Amino acid sequence: MTTEQSLSISEALTVFVADKKSAKSAQQGHQELGRFVAWCGRERKVADLAPSEVAEYAQQIGLGGSESAQRLSPVKIFLAYWKDQGWINNGLASHLRVPRTRRTLSAAGTATRSSGRGSSSGSQLSQEGYDRLVGQLDGLKDQRAAVLEDIKRAMADKDFRENAPLDAAKDQQGIVELRIRELEASINNAQILPEGVSSKVARSSVGAKLTLKDTNSGRIVAYTLVDVREADVAEGKISTISPVGQALLDRTVGEEVTINVPKGTLRYLVQRITASS
């Protein structure tokens, strides 16, 4: 990995746009790139983005229908640029694939409806997740003020034709404003899940914690099903639009679940389902 491993995703976008500024295709895809950066989290490091997250983003865009491939095209070019620049060791662009079959799209749509996530419907969030979004929104509003100051300083240079700082500041402003709008919509439409007391529930749904036995290895694992905005694999919180999350929705104790993932096939026996505490 090069010394650029600390580069944030929003900084990578600024470099990419400046480098590809003369390319018409890059300009046309700028809005899609802004959406992608906002979805990932603008302050995250390029080296931290996982292939599974890229695949999840593609799956989410794939729900949009026939224009999905066109929307993903500029993002794929952007991710390929990361590899070309040496910012990441392993390519991510190849993981940006739209679901190809009607069955896949149907399953994803069912999971979306089950988890309360539509293109305009509210998300089901824990109180912790809701508070985290509010905190992110407050931080972005502070960033908005800082970006406006950057624009004012850059505009002091009257030669706008070659004013790279002004272009970069405006790019950042667009990303910040997009993320603010998305967070405000999420917060306004959010359904806060009730606090649980680790009580048993009949079927798994958003907010449920599942204790599973890996029938291949005998290992016991636990996952909590959450909205994509709360997903954190390190804490065992998996999105209900991920392949594993989809497969674990609407399950009962005693069921055996088979899940196809890039590394092979997972086989789980559901041992316990509780409301998240």
Confidence (pTM) = 0.41
pLDDT at 170: 76
Number of domains in the chain: 3
User: Taking every pair of C-alpha atoms in the chain, what is the biggest distance, in angstroms?
Assistant: 70
Identify the domain containing residue 221 by its residue range.
208-275
Low-confidence ranges of the chain (pLDDT < 70): 1-5, 20-28, 60, 62-67, 98-126, 157-164, 193-201, 276-277
CA 24 to chain centre: 27
| pLDDT tens figures, 132-156 | 778 888 888 888 888 888 888 877 7
3-state percent helix, strand, coil for the chain, nearest multiple of 5: 55, 15, 30
Residue 35: inside a domain, yes or no? yes
Residue 201: inside a domain, yes or no? no
The answer on 185 and 213 residing in a single domain is: no
| pLDDT tens figures, 7-58 | 888 888 888 888 766 455 445 577 778 878 877 877 888 888 888 778 877 8
The answer on 234 and 167 residing in a single domain is: no
Domain end, chosen from 163, 192, 221, is at 192
Go through 57-79 and write b for each residue having 16 or more CB atoms within 10 A of its CB, e for each that does not.
bbbbbbbeeeebeebbebbbbbb
Go through 186-223 and write b for each residue having 16 or more CB atoms within 10 A of its CB, e for each that does not.
bbeebeebeeeeeeebeebbbbbbbbbbeeeeeeeeeb
Residue 257: inside a domain, yes or no? yes
Residue 115: inside a domain, yes or no? no
Q: How far is CA 224 from CA 83, 163, 204, 275, in A?
A: 33, 48, 10, 9
Q: List the CATH number of the domain containing 269.
A: 3.10.50.30
Q: List the CATH number of the domain containing 137.
A: 1.10.287.180
Q: How far is CA 206 from CA 26, 65, 173, 199, 275, in A?
A: 38, 25, 34, 15, 9
Helix/strand/coil (H/E/C) assignment for every residue in 177-229: HHHHHHHHHHHHHCEECCCCCCCECCCCCCCEEEEEEECCCCCEEEEEEECHH
The answer on 1 and 29 residing in a single domain is: yes
The answer on 147 and 82 residing in a single domain is: no
Pairing of strands 220-226, 208-214: antiparallel
Residue 197: inside a domain, yes or no? no
The answer on 154 and 213 residing in a single domain is: no
Q: List the CATH number of the domain containing 28.
A: 1.10.150
Residue 203: inside a domain, yes or no? no
